[in-house]
Chains A and B, each alone.
Chain A
Amino acid sequence: MTNSIAELENDADVILITGSNTTQMHPVISSFIKRAVRAGRTKVIVADPRRIDMVELAEIWLRQRGGTDVAWLNGLIHVILAEDLYDHEFVEQRTEGLAELKEAVAPYTPDRVEQISGIPADKLRSAARLYASAKAGSIVYAMGITQHISGTDAVKSLANLAMICGNLGIPGGGVNPLRGQNNVQGACDLGALPNVLPGYQLVTNVEARARFAESWGVTGLPDRPGLTVVEVVHGAVEGSVKALYVMGENPMVSDPDLHHVKKGLRSLDLLVVQDLFLTETAQIADVVLPAACFAEKDGTFTNTERRVQRVRKAVDPPGQARSDGDIICDLATRMGYPMAYDSASDIFDELARLTPQYRGMSYGRLEGEGLQWPCPTSSHPGTKFLHKGVFPRGRGKLHPVEWIPPAEERSRRFPFLLNTGRVLYQYHTGSMTRRSEGPNERYPECRVEMHPADAKRLKIRDGDWVQVTSRRGSLKARAAVGRVTPEGSVFIPFHFAEAAANNLTIAALDPVAKIPSYKVCAVRVAKAQP
C-alpha cells in the first residue's frame, strides 16, 4: 500500500474498492472502512462483477464484466479529463504524460465502455465525479485487479486515476493493494523474486551485484533475471529445469493448470519440499523436510502497509521439525558455503544493511508498533504514506494503456466465465485452515457459486452436484446457487485439492508481471451425479 490502513478510517473521503472482496479476504481492514462509512465520513464505490458484501455499503456499484478493468478505468479517466475534474496543480507539478494519457483514453467514452464492460454510462460518470470530488480519495484493490493477462495495465490505470486526481502523497489517498498473504510484502522486499536482489535492486545492476557479492563473500552473482513460478513449471516440462526446492508453497494446488504443473514436477531430477504438512506437492517430492510454523520461531513479517513487525516463538516445533532459516543455513554449509547466525536478530541486521528500505530498522526498534518502510536511518520514524512531495523517479508517469480482451472468452462449448478466489473461512491451499475445526466446519468443501437464472436453465438446484469443465480439466463439486456471482459466470474457491479450481484455470500470463489469469477463463457447467 502506498498509504496506511488506519487512513482508510480516518482520512479518506472516498474509497474505490475494486477486485477486493474486503469483508471476506481482509475482514479486519473491512471494519476500518465500514466504521468510516457508518460514521458518515466516507463514501464507497465498489467495482466488482460479484455482489460482494461491500456492495451493501457502496454509494455506487459498478458491475463490470470479468476482464474489462482497463476499459472501465480508462472510461473513468476519460470522464474526469473531459469534464475537467482533474487536479491541475498536481498534474502540472508532479506528473508527466498527460497528453499521451488523454489521447489513449479518448476512445473510452462512457458509451463505448458500457459496450465493453456492461457498466451503464451514467453510473460510470457518477463514479468518476464522486471519486474526483474527494479531497482524499483512496483506491483499494487486490487480486481481482491483478490476476489477469492485463493485470499490470490495470494497476497502471489505477495509478493514472490516482495521479490525475492528486491522490498520491497525501493521507487517506493512495493506490493500495491489499496483500493476501502474511509476508508476501516481505518476500518481495527481501529478494524472493527472480529479477531483483533485496530492496528491489535489479540483478542487472552491476553496482548492486558488487555490493551483495562483497557482503556475501562471493566473487560474482548471476546477472540474468531468473524464472518466475509459472516459467519454472514450463522449464521443468521442457527439461531445462532439473531441480526445484520448494519452501512452504503448494504449487500442486495453487498454480494454474494443474495437469501441466504435475507433469513438470514429475519430470524433475530432484524435488525438495519443506513444509508443515505432507501437502499435495510434498506427496510427489523426492525429499520432504519438516519445518517449524510461525508460532515456533522468531523473525519478522512485513504487512500490506509496509509495516515490519516481530514474530515471536511461543512453542517448540513438533518432533525433529526445524525452522526454515535453520534448514537453509545447514544446507548452505553442506554445499561448501558456511552459513550460521546466532539469532534471527542477527540475520535481520545483515539484511537491513543491504536493503535500503530496512536500513534503519533493528529488532530493538521493532518492539511496539513496528516500523513502516522506507526507514533509511536508525532515527527515522518510518513512513506512513509514500510519494509525499516527489516520486522516486521524479515526476509520476501517466502511462497510456489500452484494453485487451482476456485470453479466453465464452464460446458455445464453454459458455461460462470462471472466476476463482478465496472464501472467508479458508486460506490459500487449505493446508492450515482445513486442519482447523472451527473455520472448516463453516466451509468444509468446494462450492460452485452460480446465479439462480443459470441454475434454473441447467435444472440445477442449490446443493446439487455439478461438473465444471474447461479446455484444461474438470472438477466436480456441489452448486451454491445465489445472487453473488453474475449470470453467465461461476465462482470457485481454489482451497480444495480434491476439487481443485486450478485444474480448470489457464496458465496465460500477464506479459510483465507474469501473473496468471485466475479471474477469467471459459468453462461449461453441467449437472452431475454424486
Chain B
Amino acid sequence: MDTFTITADGKEIEGRPGQTVLQVCQDANVSIPTLCHHPALKPYGGCRLCVVEIEGMRGLPAACTTPATAGMVVHTHTDLLHRARRTILELLLANGDHDCLVCNANGSCELQTLVYEHEIEHRPEGEPFTRRPIDDSNAMIRRDLNKCVLCSRCVRACMDHQVNGVIDVAARGSESVIATFNDMPLGDSECVFCGECVQVCPTGALLEKRAQFASQPWALRRVRTTCTYCGVGCQLELNVRGNSVVKVTSSHELPGPNGGSLCVKGRFASDFIGHPDRLTHPLIRQNGKLREATWDEALGHIASKLSEIRSEHGPDSIAFFSSARATNEENYLLNKLARAVVGTNNIDHCARL
C-alpha cells in the first residue's frame, strides 16, 4: 500500500491512506492526549483534547477526525495547545461531580490521568452544577451522570458496535445529557445489559454495580480466560481480588472471536463462582439422606460399586454423561475412563439438548 510522510514535532513519520493524524502519530509513538477517542469506536471529535496545530491550517483541528495527508507538518505539544487542553479539562472539572476520593473509578479514570498530566492543582471555582439523580434502577449497571464528560463513547458502543441504540445524547448545549428513550431509567429501557457502555466509559459515570466498593482498581488482578456460557468463546478477563471474582471485563485488545464485546451473561452472570450454595464436600447418601463424606470414602465407594456392577452386569450397564461445560481435557479424560477403564462406549453429553 502507498505510504506517505508527515512531520510531527520535527520528526518524520509514516502514514497510510485513510489514517487520521491521531492514528499516524500514535503508530509512531507520538503521544497526543485523548478522552472521547476510543480505538474500537468511530472517531467523534467531541472532547477537543487531541487538538493539534497543523501548519497551513486555521485554528486547532482535532487530530482524531483530521485525515492525515502527505507533507503535513503537525505540532502536538505547544504552549497554545497546553493552555487549550487545560481550559477544556478545567471546564469539565467544573461541570460535574469529579471527586476522586469518593469515586469507584479512582485509579482507573482517564479524566483523572489527564488532569494529572496537565498539572491542574485545583478544581476551578464556579457555579455549582445541577445534580442529576443516580440511576440505580437495576442490579447490573449504576449510572451516575454527574461524573459524565459527554464523550459519547457509550453512545457509540451501543449504537455502532452492539447496534442496540438504547442511548443517545439528548438535549442541546449545556443541557446535553446521555439518555435512554424518554430518559427512562436503564432498568425500564430497551437495554439488554451487554455492558459495553461500562467497558468504554473513561470515568466513574458507568459502573458494574456489583464491583462498587468491592475493590479499588489497583488491587485487582486480571486473568484472561474464555467465557463459560454459549459457544462464541468470548475472551474475557476475570478481575480478581484475593480469591473472589469482582467483575468481568473484556477489551478490544484481547485477541479472540468477540472483538472485546460480551453479553449480559458473560459480563454480569459470574456471581455463581463464589456463591454460598457451592458444593464444598463430597456427599454420600445414607439412610435416604445425603451426608458429608471424605474424598477417600466417596471415591472409594464409587470405585468399588462400579467394579461390582461391571463384573455382575457387564461394562455396558454403566453409562457416563460428560459435559459441554467441562474443558476439552476433562472430556477427553472421561472418554478415557469410560472406554479404557470401564470398557463401555456409553458416554454422551448434552450436545443435543
Interface residues in chain A, defined as those with a beta carbon under 8 Å from any beta carbon in chain B:
4-6, 23, 25-29, 31, 34-35, 38, 146-147, 178-195, 197-198, 203, 212-213, 216-218, 221-222, 224-230, 232, 235, 240-249, 251, 254-255, 269-270, 272, 275-278, 282-283, 285-291, 293-297, 299-305, 307-316, 318-325, 327-332, 334-337, 339, 344, 347-348, 350-351, 368-370, 424-425, 427-428, 431-433, 435-439, 441-442, 513-516, 518
Closest chain B residue to A299 by CB distance?
B327
Contacts of B149 in A (CB 8 A): none
Contacts A311-B225, A315-B273 known; A247 to B139 CB distance under 8 Å?
A: no
Closest chain B residue to A345 by CB distance?
B329
B352 near A248: Cβ-Cβ < 8 Å: no
Q: How far is the CA of A59 from the CA of B227 in the complex (A)?
A: 32
Contacts A328-B330, A332-B337 known; A226 to B257 CB distance under 8 Å?
A: no
A sample of 22 inter-chain contacts (CB < 8 A) reads A31-B163, A181-B229, A187-B328, A190-B335, A191-B336, A216-B339, A217-B340, A226-B316, A245-B302, A269-B309, A286-B285, A295-B245, A302-B233, A303-B257, A305-B257, A314-B223, A319-B281, A324-B326, A324-B327, A347-B333, A369-B257, A438-B268
A241 near B348: Cβ-Cβ < 8 Å: no
- Digitize B204-232: 1 where CB-to-A-CB distance is under 8 Å, 0 elsewhere: 00000110000000000101111111111
B122 at the interface (CB under 8 A from A): no
Q: Which of A4, A230, A288, A516 has the most CB of B within 10 A?
A: A288
Shortest beta-carbon distance from B210 to chain A in Å:
7
B175 at the interface (CB under 8 A from A): no
A299 near B328: Cβ-Cβ < 8 Å: yes
Q: Which of B262, B269, B275 has the most CB of A within 10 A?
A: B269
Contacts A301-B233, A310-B226 known; A193 to B351 CB distance under 8 Å?
A: yes
The 5 closest A-B CB pairs, nearest first, are: A319-B280, A303-B233, A179-B231, A299-B327, A226-B345
Shortest beta-carbon distance from B110 to chain A in Å:
24
- A sample of 14 more A-B contacts (CB under 8 A), given A179-B230, A432-B272, is A31-B261, A183-B231, A186-B327, A187-B324, A190-B335, A216-B336, A228-B348, A247-B326, A315-B274, A348-B328, A369-B257, A370-B233, A431-B272, A437-B210
B102 at the interface (CB under 8 A from A): no
Shortest beta-carbon distance from A152 to chain B in Å:
11
A247 near B330: Cβ-Cβ < 8 Å: yes
Contacts of B285 in A (CB 8 A): 285-287
B323 at the interface (CB under 8 A from A): yes
Shortest beta-carbon distance from B234 to chain A in Å:
6
Q: How far is the CA of A312 from the CA of B331 in the complex (A)?
A: 17
Q: How far is the CA of A285 from the CA of B285 in the complex (A)?
A: 7
- Residue of A198, A241, A254 near B350 (CB, 8 A) is A254
Q: How far is the CA of A107 from the CA of B232 in the complex (A)?
A: 38
A180 near B230: Cβ-Cβ < 8 Å: yes
Contacts of A516 in B (CB 8 A): 352-353
- Digitize B288-320: 1 where CB-to-A-CB distance is under 8 Å, 0 elsewhere: 001001010011111101110100010111111
- Residue of A194, A286, A299, A316 near B345 (CB, 8 A) is A194
B255 at the interface (CB under 8 A from A): yes
B298 near A192: Cβ-Cβ < 8 Å: no
Q: On chain B, which size bracket covers the interface? A: 35 or more
- Residue of B163, B209, B299, B313 near A331 (CB, 8 A) is B299
- Digitize B11-41: 1 where CB-to-A-CB distance is under 8 Å, 0 elsewhere: 0000000000000000000000000000000
* B220-277 residues at the A interface, CB under 8 angstroms: 221, 223-235, 238, 240, 243-245, 255-259, 261-266, 268-275, 277
A308 near B352: Cβ-Cβ < 8 Å: no
B341 at the interface (CB under 8 A from A): yes
Contacts A287-B282, A288-B279, A330-B299 known; A226 to B323 CB distance under 8 Å?
A: no
Contacts of B193 in A (CB 8 A): 438-439, 442
Q: Which of B270, B309, B340, B352 has the most CB of A within 10 A?
A: B352
Contacts of B295 in A (CB 8 A): 320, 322, 330
Contacts A311-B226, A437-B139, A515-B352 known; A334 to B324 CB distance under 8 Å?
A: no
A427 near B229: Cβ-Cβ < 8 Å: yes
Q: How far is the CA of A170 from the CA of B256 in the complex (A)?
A: 21
A184 near B231: Cβ-Cβ < 8 Å: yes
B349 at the interface (CB under 8 A from A): yes
B232 near A192: Cβ-Cβ < 8 Å: no
Contacts of B124 in A (CB 8 A): none
Contacts A26-B230, A427-B269 known; A334 to B225 CB distance under 8 Å?
A: no
Closest chain A residue to B263 by CB distance?
A27
Closest chain B residue to A295 by CB distance?
B273
A197 near B335: Cβ-Cβ < 8 Å: yes
B256 near A182: Cβ-Cβ < 8 Å: no
Closest chain B residue to A513 by CB distance?
B352
Closest chain B residue to A432 by CB distance?
B272
A368 near B321: Cβ-Cβ < 8 Å: no
Contacts A254-B350, A334-B299, A441-B138 known; A309 to B329 CB distance under 8 Å?
A: no
B334 near A293: Cβ-Cβ < 8 Å: no
- Residue of A26, A290, A428, A436 near B282 (CB, 8 A) is A290
B178 at the interface (CB under 8 A from A): no
A335 near B307: Cβ-Cβ < 8 Å: yes
Q: How far is the CA of A27 from the CA of B195 in the complex (A)?
A: 12
- Residue of B194, B268, B309, B348 near A229 (CB, 8 A) is B348
Contacts of B326 in A (CB 8 A): 183, 187, 247-248, 324
B7 at the interface (CB under 8 A from A): no
A441 near B139: Cβ-Cβ < 8 Å: yes
Shortest beta-carbon distance from A310 to chain B in Å:
7
Shortest beta-carbon distance from B298 to chain A in Å:
5
A194 near B348: Cβ-Cβ < 8 Å: yes
Q: How far is the CA of A293 from the CA of B332 in the complex (A)?
A: 17
